[in-house]
Amino acid sequence: MSLFARLRQVYTLTTPAVWILAALGLIAAAVVFSRPASRPEGLVFWLFSRSHQEAYQPVLKKWNAARPTPASTVTDLLLDGGALERRLLSGFMSGTPVADLVELERGMAGRAFSGPVEDIGFVDLTERLREEGLMDTINAPSFGPWTSRGRIFGLPHDVHPVLLAYRSDIVEAAGIDLSTVETWDDFFRLMRPLMTDENGDGRPDRYILNFWATNGDVLEAMVLQAGGGFFDDHDRLALDTEINARVVATLATWTGGPGRISVDAPEFSAPGNTLRLRGVVLASIMPDWLAGVWKMDLPELAGKVKLMPLPAWEKGGRRTSVQGGTMLGISRRSADPEAAWEFAKRLYLDRETHAKFFASTTIIPPVRSSWDHPVFARPDPYFGGQPVGTMFIEQAAHVPRRASSPYNALARSRLNDVLLALVARVNREQITDPEVLLPETRRLLSEAQTAVQTLIHRNVFLRTEAP
């Protein structure tokens, strides 16, 4: 059969719809390939948070209006967090283009620090920060998540100290005075009378604390508050410590068994918000950013909630913790790293920008010279007229140090596994005393330490030996 005859046969056997789709595909391909591959003139800025993007617009517009040429302007691009992370890491590893400036959340940033320090894709800012006096201006603990092997690769956006939010309307109506609370034991002793069963279903109508064994963010915050954590000051894995064991064993008795005082009321969820509105959960761990979220998502609680420092694990102990965090990094392949650095400082170090950002998000800045701005001392009606900004700032210097290890998420996951195993035993044996759990807790933490350390040891760039 000739070629012409074969083509005629194909034509007669193919429906018109197929040919229409093929034609449309060819047209679309022609349009796409006819477009020039280009990027905006000037600097490109990737970010993942719409609220951040909206807050930055006044600064961005003023910056661009003052630039003499388009080559010195900044164009922002909002990306989904997962997409931003994938594009950034693939660009760093393959040499393909990335943005000049990138804003990253803590969980994303750690993965960029897994290779040799000289191959990290961000500009090393350590000497710039020292020479310009910013090491003394910025709250020291805020550098931790962006520091790898002694070098700083990101400008901190925030501090994110943690306070405790509680239903002041319910607590005060019951005549409970929380001003005398120093420790978690004090807090639970005063609050337990509120865990009554009014409807006779055999369960309390209220629980004291919003915490569950699957909440890794709060678990990490509680461990850090006590002085524990996942890595030590030399970035060596430190899961199997006595502090971690005691905290995790205690949390297991808070979450299960006859002594249970906590409830699962997830943030950013309709079921969790319903439990908060109904007063089923009386207190919640609250970083500064979450205070802003509540004001937007739970306006019905305005005037019914107050804040207090976290109860300490022991008298004289730390009354805060830390949760979350964001940095601004400069790509080592930026066309103009000096201009990128100047823009980064303008965006992250400006006093009035800090004040406006706090007013819309309740997030305090890490720049200490901004903390005396009047906006932080204003009474907040949502929180019963308390000066919320001042309360968070008072704890800023005390937030615990955090490591930047790319294995942080894995270590936290393994600690979560330990807690879940302990809660299962607490429920099974109806245990109320954390001391009973300590032998098993130590064993499980040792196993977790070995498992995570084995993976870390395979990365020759992150092996940490004793100093």
Rounded Cα distance, 298 and 296, in Å: 6
Residue range(s) occupied by CATH 3.40.190.10 in the chain: 43-156+324-391, 162-321+400-457
User: Residue 403 has what pLDDT?
Assistant: 87
Between 3.40.190.10, 3.40.50.200, 2.40.40.20, 1.10.150.120, what CATH number should domain 162-321+400-457 receive? 3.40.190.10
Per-residue pLDDT of the chain (467 residues; tens, 9 = 90+): 554 555 455 455 555 555 455 555 555 444 434 444 455 688 999 999 998 999 899 999 999 999 888 888 999 999 999 999 999 988 988 888 899 999 999 888 888 887 788 889 999 999 999 999 999 999 999 999 999 889 999 999 999 999 999 999 999 999 999 999 999 999 999 999 999 988 888 889 999 999 999 999 999 999 999 999 999 877 889 999 999 999 999 999 999 999 999 999 999 999 999 999 999 999 999 999 999 999 999 999 999 999 999 999 999 999 999 999 999 999 999 989 999 999 999 999 999 999 999 999 999 999 999 999 999 999 999 999 999 999 999 999 999 999 888 899 999 999 999 999 999 999 999 999 999 999 999 999 999 999 999 998 887 665 554 33
User: Residue 17 has what pLDDT?
Assistant: 56
Other beta carbons less than 10 A from residue 409's beta carbon: 16
Contact between residue 47 and residue 76 where contact means Cβ atoms under 8 Å apart: yes
Of 402, 379, 398, nearest to 389 by C-alpha is 379
Contact between residue 236 and residue 452 where contact means Cβ atoms under 8 Å apart: no
Contact between residue 311 and residue 387 where contact means Cβ atoms under 8 Å apart: no
User: Residue 37 has what pLDDT?
Assistant: 45
Question: Quick one: tokens of 302?
Answer: 């305005």
User: Residue 461 has what pLDDT?
Assistant: 61
Which fold would CATH assign to domain 43-156+324-391? D-Maltodextrin-Binding Protein; domain 2 (3.40.190)
Mutual angle of helices 242-255 and 408-429, in 10-degree steps:
50
User: Residue 224 has what pLDDT?
Assistant: 97
User: Residue 36 has what pLDDT?
Assistant: 42
Contact between residue 47 and residue 103 where contact means Cβ atoms under 8 Å apart: yes
Give the SS3 label for residue 231.
Answer: strand
User: Residue 44 has what pLDDT?
Assistant: 96
Count Cα neighbours of 199 within 13 Å in the Cβ-side half-sphere: 6
Q: Degrees (nearest 5) of the Cα angle 17, 23, 26?
A: 145
Of 389, 367, 405, nearest to 140 by C-alpha is 367
Rounded Cα distance, 164 and 238, in Å: 27
DSSP state of 132: T
* Radius of gyration of the chain measured on its C-alpha atoms: 26
Give the SS3 label for residue 326.
Answer: strand
Q: How many residues are recorded in the chain?
A: 467
Which stretch of DSSP H or E encloses residue 425? helix 408-429
